[in-house]
Structure 1
Amino acid sequence: MGVFASASADEGQWQPHQLPQLKAELKRIGITIPLEKLTDLSKHPMSAIVSTGGCSASFVSGDGLIVTNHHCGHAAIQRNSTPERNYLQNGFLAKDRAGELPGGPSMLVYVTEKVENVTDRVLKGLAPTMSGRERYEEVQGRIKALIAECETGKGYRCSVPAFHRGLEYYRIRQLMIRDVRLVYAPSEKIGNFGGDVDNYEWPRQTGDFAFLRAYVGKDGRPAEPSPDNVPYKSKDFLVVSAEGLKNGDPILLAGYPGRTSRYKMPSEIRFARDADFPVRVAGMQADLAVIAAATMGNPTYDVRYANVVKGINNVMKKTQGLMDGFARKDIAALKDVQDAEFRAWFKQNQGNAPKALMADLDALIAADIALSEEEYAWSVGTHSDLLGSARTLYRLALERQKPDPKRDAGYQERDLSFIKARLTRLEQSLVPVVDEARYSAALQRYSKLAARTRPQSLDALLPAPRDVAALYKSTELADTAKRLAWIGKDADAFRKSDDAFIKLAVRLYEVSSSLENRRKEINGNLEKVIPQYMSAVIAWKKSQGKPVYPDANSTLRVTYGTVSPYSPRDGLVKGPFSTVDGVVEKHTGVDPFIVPKEVIDAVKAKRFGAFKDPVLNTVPVNFLSSADTTGGNSGSAVMNKRGELVGLNFDSTYESITKDWYFDRAITRAIHVDIRYMLWVMKEIDHADNLLKEMTIKYPKK
C-alpha cells in the first residue's frame, strides 16, 4: 500500500474540491475555465459528466443525449443484435426517438448531485481493542446507515467510498436513471477498428464513440423502462467544439476512473509482477481459447460471447502490459528508494503514530497477499456462470433471514434490482455448452495450482472435470424464468433442491463464508493501520510542498494535461495525432482492419468539410495527451481550455499501462477520439443529421 503519489507535472486523479490547490499549474498550461466552476458539481461543466456504472460519459443535449465510447455501449449494441440484424457489424442509427432501442436492465446512468465528507460519522469512537472483523463490520454498519439515510427515493443511489484506504470517507448521492436507450453506434469497422490487435497500441485509428439517451417518467423522476417515459431534461450539457486542438494545447478530462494502486508497497509490486499477474494472464489465455473452440462456426454463440471475449481480452492485455512494463522499468526498485526515504523521514517525524506502525503494516500486507492467492484459486474453482448464479441466489436467501440493515452489502433490498439484472443478462451472454466447456477447463487449471493456495476443504467439494457434463444435464438454471423464480425462496428450499448447481452452491457456502470472514479480518486491520500510514505520507509530502491525491475509486475525478507526443524508445517519436489517411492505409479487408467503402471513398475524394485540420490538412482520428487516466475513464469528456468537448478518452498506450502503479510523465499517454472524426463520421458516413442538429456544435471560423 506504500509510496507515494503527488502532484508532479500532469500526474493526479483529483477530487474536484482539490483543484484550487492546482491553480498555478492549470494556469501555467493555459486552462481558462474558472476553477470555482470545476469544484461545483451542480454547475456546468461538472453537472454534465455522468457515469454508466463502469464507464464515463457526458450529456451533449438538453434532452438527455449522452455520448460515451462504443465499447461502453457494446453490451447494449450486442443485446439488440442477432445474426440476421447484426448492429455490431453494421452499426445502428435511430432516425427518431421512437426508433431508439432499450439498453437493457444493466445499462444505467448515474448523475452525481452531492458529495459530503462523512469521515467523523464513519470513524468516530471506534474502540482500538476491536478485532479486524469487528472493526470492519462496525464501519460497514455505519456506512449502510449513512446510505439508508441518503436514499430518500428509488431515484437515488448513494455510496460511501473510502479515500486513502480509510483515512477519509465521502458520501456521494447520485440520481440513478434506469431507462437508457441506444441511439446511435457506428459499425464495429469504425467503432472497434483494429480490435484487440490495436488495443493499447499507437497509432490508433478507432472511432470509439456511441450515443445513448436517458429517459425518465413524465414527472421528471427516474422510472422503470416504459414506452410512456420521456427524455431526461439534462440541466447542463457540453457544447461540442469542432475547432480542434493542436500539439501542446491544454486539456481537462473529467470522468470516473476505476482503481489505481499508486500507494502500493515494493513487496506488493513484486508479488503482482512475479506471481499474481503471470497466473492470471495464463488463466485468461486458456479461457479465451476454450470460448473460441466452443463457439467456432456458430454465429449465435459468437454474438452471445462477443462482450465476454472483449472484456477478457481487455483485462488480459492490460495485465500483460503491466508485466511488460515491470520488466522494462524496475518499479519495485524505484519504490524501494522512495520507501527508504519515507521510512527515514518517519523515524524523525513519527509524532503520535505508533512505534510499530511500519512493522504492523508489513505483516498485514504479507497476510493480505497470502489470502489473495487463495481467493484467486477459489475464483478458478468456481468459474461457471451457472454456478455463480446459484451461489448468488443461495446467498440472497441466507441474507434475507437477517433484518435489512444487518445484511451484507450487495444483498440488501436496494440491491435486488441489480441482482435481477445480472441474472436476466445471462439470457444474452450464456450458452450452457460453452459455460460447461469453460468450467471443465477451469477445474483442470485449478488442480494444477500450488496446494498452499487452494482453500482448505475446497478440493473435496469440487466436481472432477469429467463430472461437469452431468451437472449441466441436471440443472434448470439455464432457463431465465426458472433462474429468476429462485429469488425470494427461503434457504430451506435451496437445501432440499435436486438442482445440481443449487446443491453445489449449498455445499460450497461454508468455504466461501470462511474466506469472506478472513478477508473482513484482514481488511479491518488494514483499515486501522493504513490511515495512520497515509497521514504520515501526506505530512511527508506536505513538508516538500506537494499536495497528495487519493487512488482512483470509481468516483468523479478531474485530470489535466497537454496534447503531447512521446518517445517509447531511442530514436522514435510517436504522435500526437492519427488521421483518416492512416485508416485507409491500414485497410487489409481482413477483420479487424476492414474499412467501410464509404470511408475509403470519402477519404480519397478528400470530402473533409469543416472537420479538416488546418495543419494536418486532413481529418484527425485519435490524439494523445499527457492526462492521468485509468480503466473507468473510458468515455470521459476531454475538454479544451474553455470546458468544451473536443474528444473522448478511450485507451492508453502500451507503454503507459504501468501508470496504475507508477506515473512516468515522459511516456504516459492517454488516447482519445478526436471529436472532429466523430462529427465527420456522423455527417459524411452515417448521415446522423438528426443528432448533429440536436447537439450544440461550435465550428471553426472560416
Structure 2
Amino acid sequence: MRRIAAIWLIACLGFVQFAKADEGMWLLPLINKLNMEKMQEMGLQLSAEEIYSINNSSLKDAIVIFGRGCTGELISDQGLVLTNHHCGYGKIQELSSVENNYLKDGFWAKSFDEELPAPGLSVTFLKYMTDVTADINAELKEGMTEAERAAKIKEVSAKLIEEAQKGNAYQIRVQDYFEGNQFYLIAYEKFEDVRFVGAPPSSIGKFGFDTDNWMWPRHTGDFSMFRVYCGPDGKPAKYSKNNKPYKPAHHLPVSLKGVQKDDFAMTVGFPGSTERYLTSWGITERMDIINHARIKPRGIKQDIWQKDMRANEKVNIQYASKFAGSSNYWKNSIGMNRGLENLNVLGQKRELEKEFTNWVNADKARQAKYGNVLSELEKAYEQRAPFMSATSFLAECQLRGAEVFYFALNAKGLEKALEEENQEKINAAVEALKEAGKSFYKNYYAETDRKVIGALLKLYNDDIETKYHPSFYNTVNKKFKGDFQKFADELYNKSIFMDEARFNAFLEKPSLKVLQKDLAYQAGVSSLDKYKEIKQMEQESLISINKNNRLFIAGLMEMKADKVFYPDANFTMRLSYGKVGDYEPKDGVVYKHYTTVEGIMEKEDPDNFEFVVPAKLKELWKNKDYGQYADEAGYMPVCFTTDNDITGGNSGSPVINAEGHLFGLAFDGNWEAMSGDIAFENELQKCINVDIRYVLFIIDKYAGATNLIDEMTLIK
C-alpha cells in the first residue's frame, strides 16, 4: 500500500508539465508542488501560501461550504456571504409566503436588524487538511478481506480523529481519495447562525429557469446573500439576538476591472462528485440504469407538478424549490447521456482497458496483482444490473416520487412505542411527528401528490419485474384490481397522512391499529423494506466493484507514471484553474465568452414566466443607468465563460482573477459537456459564471441596497 502512495506522489511531482491547465480538481495542500508553476505562467500573482495556509490568513479562509451542497465566499469583514440564488433557493422559499413572496419579489435587508434568521442553514470553514495515508496504510496487510480492510481503516481513522480533536471544537473526519488509495484528515468549523440578507427576484436570479438551465448563452443573475453570525467570543453559536456578525480571517476583495478573453481564472470550492476513473461497465450502468431511472419518472412527476404550480400561486411557492431540485439533475442526466454518446466516451474507455490489459499481461507480477481486475468488474456490474435498476426506480417512484410515502415513514418510531405501550416514548414520538408535520404540510399539496402517486406507481409496475415490487402492490392488485389511480384516490380520501387536519387529529389520540391499517403508511414501510432487501442483494457485487476500482486506479497510476492524477470530487475543497474564453459547440457556430443585458431584453417574453423582465430592470436598461458597473466599452455585462473544471457542489464558487480578487460567481456548466462528471472534454467544457459587476449592479442600482456595497472591498 505504501508503494501505491509513493507511485502517486512520484507521478504528481515529476511530470506536472504534461497536465492540461484547465482539467483537474486539485487538493490545496499540494498546489505548491503540483500547480503553482503552471498557474503563475498563466498569470497568477499569488503564492501558494496566500492561497492555502494553516498558520496564516489565506484565500481558503474566505471559502465555505454553504448549507449541505454548495459553496459560498465571504466578501466583507462582517461575515457577508455570497452564493448562488439556486443555492439559497430552498431557504428563500421556506421564508416566503403569499404575503411576503421573496422568490417572486426578492428581498433586501437594509440593516443587520432586518436580516432574517434561516433555521437549519449552516456555513462551514475548512481549517486544515493533513495527509494520513502512511498512518492508515501501515496498518493494512496483504491478504485482508474487504471487510477486514474497512474495519481497520475505521479503527485507525477513529484514533487519528480522537487525537486531532484534543483542545478544539472542530468537526474532524478522515476522507479517502482515489477509491481508497489515499487518505486525508480534514478539520472543519461549522457556524449555524446564518441569516438571509438579500436576493433578487426569481425573474433575475432564475431568469430562463429550466429552458436556459445548463445552456449558453446565459443571462441569469444567479446570486443570493447571507450573513454568518457568531457568539460574542467569535466562536460558532446557536442563534441568539446577542450574536454578532462574524469577522473572517480573510474575505475576498471584489474587482470592478472587468473580464477579458484569456484572463486567468481560478475557482475554489467544494465539488460534489465525479467519476473520471469509471470503467466502461460503470459508464453503461450510469447511462442505461441510473440516468434512465432519473429521466423517466422525474419527467412524469415534473409535468404534473408544473401544471398545478402554474394554476395556483400557493402551490407554486410550495413546490418551487422541489421542482428546481428535481429538474436540475433530470436535465443533467439527459445531457450527460447525450454527451457521452457524442464524445464516444465508451469507446475511449474500452481502448484504455485494452491498453491496461496489455500492460498487465506483459509482467507476471502485474498479472498476480491486477490480472483479474477488469474481468471481476465486468462480472460484478452484470450481477448488479437488475438490482440497481429496481432500487433506482423504487427511489424515484416511491421514496422520492410519492411525497406522502416518505413522510409517513416518520411514524415508525411511534409504531414501536405504541407496540411497547410505553407512554413516555409515545409522547416523545408524537411531539417529533408534530414538528415534522409543520415542515411537511407547509410545502405539501395532497391533490398534486395524488396525481403523482397514481402515475409513478403504474410506471414502476410496468417497468420493473414483479419480484421487485413492494408488498403493498398486492393490495393494489387485489382490492383495486391493479388501478393505481384508484389506490391514490383512496389514499387521498382516507389516509391520515394526506390531510393535515386528519394527521393532527390522529396525533391527539394515536392508535396502533389505525396507523398499521393506513394505506400510505403501509406503502411507505413496504417500499422501504423492499428497497433495503434489494440493496442487500447488491452487497456482493458492490464489494467487488469497490475493491477492483481501487486496484484499477492503482494500476493506472503505475502504468501511466508520466501523468499527473487528481482525485475524483468528493465534496472536499478543491482548486481549479483556467482562462476566460469562447467555444465552438458545433460546425459554423462560435459562442463568445460574455453576455450583456441586451440579451435579457432580446429573450423577454411577458407571457412566459421563465423570461419575464422586471420593470425596474428595463428602466435601467433604457436609460443606460449602469453606474460604475458598466464595461469600459459601455455595455452592462451579465455572464461569462471560463474553462475551469467544476461540477455540482461548485455552485456558488468564487471565480478569482490573477490578483486574488473576486470577478465572477460560478453557477453552471454547459449543455455540450454534460458528460464532464465522467469525462472532461477539453475543447467543449465550460464553466458559466455571473459577472460580479452584474451582481453589484443589481444590488446597487436595481435594489438600492448600497449598505451592502459599502461593506465590500471594491478594487477599481
TM-score category, normalised to shorter length: 0.7 to 0.9
**Residue in 2 aligned with 1:650?**
667
Q: 1:296 to 1:195 in 2, by over 3 A?
A: closer
CA distance in 1, matches of 2:167, 2:531: 33
Q: Deviations over 1:616-659 (max 9, x none)?
A: 43121100001011111110010001111110000111112111
**Residue in 2 aligned with 1:563?**
580
> Would the aligned equivalents of 1:461 and 1:508 in 2 still touch at CA under 8 Å?
no
Report SS of the residue matched to 1:161: strand
Q: Deviations over 1:221-277 (max 9, x none)?
A: 322223332222212111111112200111110111111121111122233334442
Pairwise mapping of residues 234-633 of structure 1 onto structure 2 (< 5 A)? 234-348=248-362, 350-351=365-366, 353-379=369-395, 380-382=397-399, 383-391=401-409, 394=412, 425-451=439-465, 454=468, 459-460=473-474, 465=484, 466-472=486-492, 473-476=494-497, 479=500, 499-508=518-527, 510-542=529-561, 545-590=562-607, 591-614=609-632, 616-633=633-650
Q: 1:529 to 1:177 in 2, by over 3 A?
A: same
Q: 1:301 to 1:122 in 2, by over 3 A?
A: farther
**Residue in 1 aligned with 2:103?**
88
**Residue in 2 aligned with 1:408?**
none
> Would the aligned equivalents of 2:391 and 2:535 in 1 still touch at CA under 8 Å?
no
Q: Which amino acid aligns with 2:554?
A: S
**Residue in 1 aligned with 2:28?**
16
State whether structure 2 residue 696 is matched by structure 1 residue 679.
yes
Q: 1:324 to 1:194 in 2, by over 3 A?
A: same
> Would the aligned equivalents of 2:408 and 2:497 in 1 still touch at CA under 8 Å?
no
**Residue in 2 aligned with 1:409?**
none
CA distance in 2, matches of 1:495, 1:516: 30
Unaligned 5+ runs, structure 2: 1-10, 13-17, 418-431
> Would the aligned equivalents of 1:294 and 1:433 in 2 still touch at CA under 8 Å?
no
**Residue in 2 aligned with 1:403?**
none
Deviation of 1:77 (Å): 1.3
Q: 1:325 to 1:476 in 2, by over 3 A?
A: closer
CA distance in 2, matches of 1:424, 1:128: 53
Moved more, 167-176 or 308-317: 167-176
Deviation of 1:33 (Å): 0.9
> Would the aligned equivalents of 1:166 and 1:530 in 2 still touch at CA under 8 Å?
no
Q: 1:507 to 1:93 in 2, by over 3 A?
A: same
Deviation of 1:121 (Å): 5.8
Q: Which amino acid aligns with 1:14?
A: W
CA distance in 2, matches of 1:629, 1:639: 14
Q: Which structure has the greater CA radius of gyration? A: 2
Q: Which amino acid aligns with 2:45?
A: T
For residue 681 of structure 2, the aligned residue among 658, 664, 669 is 664
**Residue in 1 aligned with 2:87?**
72
CA distance in 2, matches of 1:613, 1:582: 15
Cα RMSD of the aligned pairs, angstroms, is 3.5
Q: Which amino acid aligns with 1:619?
A: M
State whether structure 2 residue 78 is matched by structure 1 residue 63.
yes
For residue 217 of structure 1, the aligned residue among 221, 231, 237 is 231
Report SS of the residue matched to 1:533: helix
Q: Which amino acid aligns with 2:686?
A: R
CA distance in 2, matches of 1:635, 1:421: 31
Q: 1:311 to 1:32 in 2, by over 3 A?
A: same
State whether structure 2 residue 113 is matched by structure 1 residue 98.
yes
CA distance in 1, matches of 2:335, 2:499: 36
Q: Deviations over 1:334-393 (max 9, x none)?
A: 222222223222333554624323322322233344432121132124332232234356
Q: Deviations over 1:58-101 (max 9, x none)?
A: 01112211000111111121112112221111110001111111
**Residue in 1 aligned with 2:424?**
none
**Residue in 2 aligned with 1:196?**
210
CA distance in 2, matches of 1:443, 1:141: 43
Report SS of the residue matched to 1:648: strand
Count the aligned residue pairs.
Answer: 672
TM-score, scaled relative to structure 1: 0.87
Deviation of 1:560 (Å): 0.5
Deviation of 1:500 (Å): 4.5
**Residue in 1 aligned with 2:49?**
36
> Would the aligned equivalents of 1:653 and 1:671 in 2 still touch at CA under 8 Å?
yes
Q: 1:504 to 1:81 in 2, by over 3 A?
A: same
Q: 1:207 to 1:277 in 2, by over 3 A?
A: same
Q: Which amino acid aligns with 1:599?
A: L
CA distance in 2, matches of 1:159, 1:353: 30
> Would the aligned equivalents of 1:10 and 1:559 in 2 still touch at CA under 8 Å?
yes
CA distance in 2, matches of 1:264, 1:494: 49
Q: 1:195 to 1:377 in 2, by over 3 A?
A: closer
CA distance in 1, matches of 2:123, 2:199: 17
Deviation of 1:149 (Å): 6.7
Q: 1:75 to 1:421 in 2, by over 3 A?
A: farther
Q: Which amino acid aligns with 1:165?
A: E
Q: Which amino acid aligns with 1:33?
A: L
CA distance in 2, matches of 1:341, 1:231: 56
Moved more, 604-613 or 469-478: 469-478
Report SS of the residue matched to 1:162: strand
CA distance in 1, matches of 2:127, 2:83: 20
Moved more, 118-127 or 208-217: 118-127
Deviation of 1:185 (Å): 0.3
Identify the structure with the greater helix proportion: 2
> Would the aligned equivalents of 1:136 and 1:521 in 2 still touch at CA under 8 Å?
no
Q: Deviations over 1:5-38 (max 9, x none)?
A: 9932310111112312123321221112112332
Q: 1:176 to 1:329 in 2, by over 3 A?
A: same
Pairwise mapping of residues 95-174 of structure 1 onto structure 2 (< 5 A)? 95-105=110-120, 107-119=121-133, 125=139, 156-174=170-188
CA distance in 1, matches of 2:190, 2:62: 14
Q: 1:672 to 1:511 in 2, by over 3 A?
A: same
Q: Deviations over 1:388-418 (max 9, x none)?
A: 234356389999xxxxxxxxxxxxxxxxxx9
Q: Which amino acid aligns with 1:348?
A: A
Report SS of the residue matched to 2:611: coil
Q: Deviations over 1:498-537 (max 9, x none)?
A: 5544444444554333334344444433333322221111
Deviation of 1:165 (Å): 1.7
CA distance in 1, matches of 2:310, 2:569: 39
Q: Which amino acid aligns with 1:526?
A: I
**Residue in 2 aligned with 1:7?**
19
